[in-house]
């Protein structure tokens, strides 16, 4: 069973200006693990990619909701779940290939999943066409969980 | 605006600053392309010294401008990337542009 020490859930509107907001919220939550600057940068980059995927790909013709769930697991691990109820990905394996993009005209580099994969420890992607996509990422930080009073 | 441009005829230097994500990159792209297409320089230099954060949208921004400038045989270079930016550039195989 997961040893969940803290958690947070939020729903944001899938507008591109909220990419920065999502990064800020996640890095503020991760701060309790006393991460290094590099660890925070890695987390911010991974979150930015996942949220941008929702905005650009999951909801191509509308502004939809993006659900973000964060947990501190044990003393040193951050868990990040980013979920949408968009169009889904027909072939997840193909979508995760570096440089694969369905949006070259908007200059997407096709590196979103490659960034998540290389900057975080674990990445899992579940998707169903017509229902949406769920991305779960975890990263173990070398910092220390700060015990708090009730 | 998080882009300042300096044009010395053959070289266009784009001083980028702040956070480059999908939202910010769209505006930067529009601004840089206007000057690129007007002056058609031989070299575009992206100066990343003021960039605090970048996701893969920054890679798309660089690759897109390379596509534009290569239309008339121009080249691109990158200067002063911070460690995260360097890591992102390496992931895309663009570290060779750093000088």
pLDDT in tens, A127-140: 999 999 999 999 99
Q: Do B60 and A108 touch (CB under 8 A)?
A: yes
Q: What top-level class would CATH report for the domain B3-97?
A: alpha beta
CATH for A4-140 is: 3.30.565.10
SS3 A75: coil
Q: Do A45 and B88 touch (CB under 8 A)?
A: yes
Is there a catalytic annotation at residue A146? no
Q: Residues of A numbered 91-110 whose beta carbons fall under 8 angstroms of chain B's beta carbons: which are they? A: 106-109
Would you say B22 and A15 are in contact if contact means Cβ atoms under 8 Å apart? Answer: no
**CB of B83 within 8 Å of any CB in chain A?**
yes
Tell whether the torsion through CA atoms of B63, B64, B67 and B69 is positive or negative: negative
Q: Do B53 and A44 touch (CB under 8 A)?
A: yes
Residues counted in chain B: 99
Would you say A19 and A52 are in contact if contact means Cβ atoms under 8 Å apart? Answer: yes
Q: What's the complex ipTM?
A: 0.92
Per-residue pLDDT 10s for chain A (150 aa) are 789 999 999 999 999 999 999 999 999 999 999 999 999 999 999 999 999 999 999 999 999 999 999 999 999 999 999 999 999 999 999 999 888 888 777 777 889 999 999 999 999 999 999 999 999 999 999 865 656 656
Q: Do B60 and A41 touch (CB under 8 A)?
A: no
Would you say B49 and B79 are in contact if contact means Cβ atoms under 8 Å apart? Answer: yes
Q: Residues of B numbered 43-72 whose beta carbons fall under 8 angstroms of chain A's beta carbons: which are they? A: 53-57, 59-61, 63-64
**CB of B33 within 8 Å of any CB in chain A?**
no
Is there a catalytic annotation at residue A53? yes
Half-sphere exposure of residue A143: CA atoms within 13 angstroms, side-chain side: 20
Helix axes B22-39, A18-30, angle to 10 degrees: 130
């Amino acid at each position: 069973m997961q040893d969940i020490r803290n958690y947070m859930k939020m729903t944001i509107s899938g507008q591109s200006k909220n990419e920065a907001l999502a990064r800020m919220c996640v890095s503020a939550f991760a701060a309790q693990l006393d991460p290094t600057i590099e660890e925070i940068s890695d987390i911010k980059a991974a979150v930015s990619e996942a949220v941008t995927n929702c905005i650009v790909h999951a909801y191509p013709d509308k502004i939809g909701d993006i659900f973000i769930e964060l947990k501190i697991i044990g003393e040193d691990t951050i868990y990040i779940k980013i979920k949408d109820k968009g169009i889904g990905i027909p072939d997840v394996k193909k979508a995760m290939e570096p440089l694969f993009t369905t949006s070259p005209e908007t200059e997407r580099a096709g590196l979103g999943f490659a960034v998540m994969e290389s900057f975080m420890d674990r990445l899992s992607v579940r998707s169903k066409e017509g229902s949406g996509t769920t991305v779960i990422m975890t990263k173990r930080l070398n910092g220390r969980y700060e015990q708090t009073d009730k | 605006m998080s882009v300042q441009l300096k044009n010395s005829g053959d070289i266009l230097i784009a001083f980028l600053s702040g956070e480059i994500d999908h939202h910010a990159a769209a505006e930067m792209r529009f601004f840089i392309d206007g000057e690129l297409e007007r002056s058609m320089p031989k070299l575009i230099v992206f100066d990343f010294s003021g960039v605090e954060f970048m996701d893969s949208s920054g890679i798309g921004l660089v690759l897109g401008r390379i596509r534009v400038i290569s239309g008339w045989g121009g080249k691109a270079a990158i200067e002063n990337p911070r460690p995260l930016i360097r890591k992102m550039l390496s992931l895309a195989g663009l570290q060779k542009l750093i000088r």
